[in-house]
Amino acid sequence: MSVNKRVLWCFTLLLVTSSGCPATGTGGVALRPDGTPGPEKCSEEALKAMRYLRLSVGDAALVELDMNQDDVSPITLYDGPIESMLEGNLGVLESPTRLYGRVWTRGQQAVIRYYEAKPPDGDRVPICAVARSSKGQLRKHPDSKPGTAILDFSSSMAFIVDEFR
């Protein structure tokens, strides 16, 4: 068993034996006047998991944003849940780990927050990460309809955070 798999297995065991369920963090986020999500704290479970996995603020990896639109250009994102996939390794989370989160499409660009990761051979693990791209790559096309964000690119970087701002 590789070190990464051993660490993930031990962490999964820790999560299963701990009390309570990790929050998915997808409900109850206050919205700003422009409709984008406001600040949100990471759950204690996610902070603990990221410390255990040695994921630090700023660690990043390339992600395919929407597995329902893999390698398509342009793509259309919708408000609500999203399943993305790591294209590279994020610490011990190896490609093709899935990232689960939520998309908000109001405002000038799409906002994507990730709350869980699921390695290919493991259970879901709580995390806090955001999709972030330079040069306006998450900026919506002007012809995006309400509740959608048409983007030029199907991939972005996912960055570990300790809270959502």
- pLDDT tens digits for range 111-151: 999 999 999 999 999 999 999 987 778 999 999 999 999 99
pLDDT-derived band at 26, boundaries 50, 70, 90: very low
Look at residue 158 and tell me whether its pLDDT is greater than 80: yes
**Phi (first) and psi of residue 68, to 5 degrees:** -80, -10
- Domain carrying residue 106: 3-164
Q: What is the number of structural domains in the chain?
A: 1
Which of left, alpha, beta for 71 (phi over 0: left; psi -120 to 50: alpha)?
A: left
d(CA 125, CA 83): 14
Look at residue 82 and tell me whether its pLDDT is greater than 60: yes
d(CA 138, CA 76): 11
